[in-house]
Amino acid sequence: MSTLTIDDPVLLGFAEEMGAEGPVTVVGARTRWDVGGAVDPAARELTAPAGIVAYAAPEMTVQVRAGTSVAELEAELAAHGQRTAVPARGGTVGGAVAVGENPADVAARGRLRDAVLQVRYVSAEGELVTGGGPVVKNVTGYNLPKLMTGSLGTLGLLVEVILRTNPIPAASRWLSASEIDPGAVVGELYRPASVLWDGSTTWVHLEGHGPDIDAEHRRLSGLGGFSEVDGPPPAPDHRWSVSASDALLLPGSTDGDVLVAVGAGLAWADRPQPPRPVDPGVEALSARVKQNFDPSARLNPGRKVGH
Q: What residues from 70 to 109 belong to the interface with another protein (CB under 8 A)?
A: 81-82, 100-102, 106
**Which residue from 19, 23, 51, 110 is in contact with another protein, where contact means CB under 8 A?**
110
Name the residue among 179, 197, 195, 177 with its Cα closest to residue 187.
Answer: 195
Interface segment toward another protein; rule CB under 8 A; list 17-25, 68-76, 225-233, 258-266: 258-266
Site for another protein in 207-246 (CB under 8 A): 208-209, 211-212, 215-216, 241-246
Judge contact between 47 and 26, C-beta under 8 A.
Answer: yes
Name the residue among 43, 47, 44 with its Cα closest to residue 14.
Answer: 47
- Adjacent-strand bridge partners of 118: 132, 162
Q: Does 178 bind another protein (CB under 8 A)?
A: no
For residues 182 and 211, what is the distance between their CA atoms, to the nearest angstrom? 23
**Which residue from 4, 20, 42, 78 is in contact with another protein, where contact means CB under 8 A?**
4
**Which residue from 17, 29, 52, 113 is in contact with another protein, where contact means CB under 8 A?**
113
Judge contact between 22 and 157, C-beta under 8 A.
Answer: no
Judge contact between 148 and 197, C-beta under 8 A.
Answer: no
Name the residue among 66, 65, 64, 20 with its Cα closest to residue 44.
Answer: 20
Q: Does 135 bind another protein (CB under 8 A)?
A: yes
Number of residues that bind another protein (CB under 8 A): 85
User: In this structure, what are the phi and psi dihedrals at residue 47, rounded to the nearest 5 degrees?
Assistant: -115, 125
CB of 91 to another protein, least distance (A): 16
Site for another protein in 10-29 (CB under 8 A): none
Name the residue among 116, 113, 97 with its Cα closest to residue 157.
Answer: 97
Binding mask 143-162 for another protein (x = CB under 8 A): xx-xx-xxx---xx------
| Residue among 166 and 172 whose Cβ is closer to another protein | 166
Q: Does 69 bind another protein (CB under 8 A)?
A: no
Interface segment toward another protein; rule CB under 8 A; list 39-47, 71-79, 142-150, 225-233: 142-150
Termini Cα distance of the chain: 41
Residue 21: count of CB within 10 angstroms of its CB: 11
Q: Does 31 bind another protein (CB under 8 A)?
A: no
Q: Does 35 bind another protein (CB under 8 A)?
A: no
Interface segment toward another protein; rule CB under 8 A; list 20-28, 66-74, 120-128, 229-237: 120-128
